[in-house]
């Protein structure tokens, strides 16, 4: 770990380039070299980590190498992509389970049965294989997902889970008299 301001000079205000990783261990006061890693415990003796606040204060003073920050951003982007893919897969399964006949008709380019509840909504299968609906807002200047929302079966457990998650995560507004 590199402690913030450790390798800066008095006239250098930029962030240091990290050329060496320093790990601080136990009560060993001697500096040891092993596999190009320098072990130095003298700064640790100055840290008092006896309370959660002191621990957080010490950890907040640790500066990560620049490449690690770039990797964190890339991993966050990858995580968001994987969450999106997983959600789409779950929605697809729910649609196939709840709208089995409708999905089969749409995939085979057949007309929906007249007794289908989805018929008035003009459902279609999008490029990713999800069933969406269209209506009067087709030409509105709003995002695709708003113009053509995904439809879910009302009694499917995924539908209930998504609604509960949105209820829990979205901010609530207060009603005023």
Residue 44 forms part of a structural domain: yes
- Among 10, 44, 63, the domain-final residue is 63
Residue 84: per-residue pLDDT: 84
58 and 102 together in one domain:
no
Domain of residue 9 covers 2-63
Cβ contact 9:16 at 8 Å: no
Q: CA 129 to CA 89: how far, in whole Å?
A: 9
- Domain total in the chain: 2
State the residue for tokens 């929605």. 91
Residue 172 forms part of a structural domain: no
105 and 161 together in one domain:
yes
Residue 81: per-residue pLDDT: 80
95 and 51 together in one domain:
no
Residue 123: per-residue pLDDT: 95
User: What 3-state DSSP class applies to 79?
Assistant: helix
Residue 82 forms part of a structural domain: no
Confidence (pTM): 0.55
Residue 78 forms part of a structural domain: no
Q: CA 133 to CA 145: how far, in whole Å?
A: 10
Residue 52: per-residue pLDDT: 58
- Among 63, 82, 101, the domain-final residue is 63
Cβ contact 31:94 at 8 Å: no
**pLDDT tens for the chain, residues 1 to 177:** 334 444 444 444 444 444 444 444 444 444 444 444 444 445 555 555 556 555 556 555 555 566 667 777 778 877 888 888 888 899 999 999 999 999 999 999 999 999 999 999 999 999 999 999 998 887 888 999 899 999 999 999 999 998 988 888 888 776 565
Q: CA 22 to CA 39: how far, in whole Å?
A: 6
Residue 174 forms part of a structural domain: no
Start-to-end CA span in the chain (Å): 56
96 and 52 together in one domain:
no
Q: Output b/e per residue, 146-163; b: 16+ Cβ within 10 A.
A: ebbebbbbeebebbeebe
What tokens were used for 101? 């006949």
Which stretches of 52-139 are DSSP H helices? 52-60, 66-98, 100-107
Residue 77 forms part of a structural domain: no
- Among 15, 48, 63, the domain-final residue is 63
Residue 70 forms part of a structural domain: no
Residue 12 forms part of a structural domain: yes
């Amino acid at each position: 770990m590199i402690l913030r301001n450790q390798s800066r000079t008095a006239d250098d205000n930029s962030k240091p380039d990290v050329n060496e990783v320093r790990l601080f261990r136990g009560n060993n006061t001697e500096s040891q070299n092993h596999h190009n890693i320098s072990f130095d415990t003298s700064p640790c003796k100055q840290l008092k980590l006896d309370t959660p606040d002191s621990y957080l204060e010490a950890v907040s003073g640790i500066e990560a190498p620049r490449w690690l920050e770039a990797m964190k951003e890339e991993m966050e982007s990858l995580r968001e992509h994987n969450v999106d893919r997983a959600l789409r897969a779950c929605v697809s399964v729910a649609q196939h389970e709840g709208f089995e006949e409708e999905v089969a008709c749409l995939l085979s380019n057949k007309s929906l049965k007249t007794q289908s509840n989805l018929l008035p909504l003009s459902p279609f299968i999008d490029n990713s294989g999800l069933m969406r609906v269209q209506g009067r807002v087709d030409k509105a200047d709003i995002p695709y997902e708003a113009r053509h929302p995904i439809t879910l079966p009302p009694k499917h457990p995924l539908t209930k889970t998504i609604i509960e998650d949105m209820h829990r995560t979205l901010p609530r507004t207060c009603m005023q008299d």
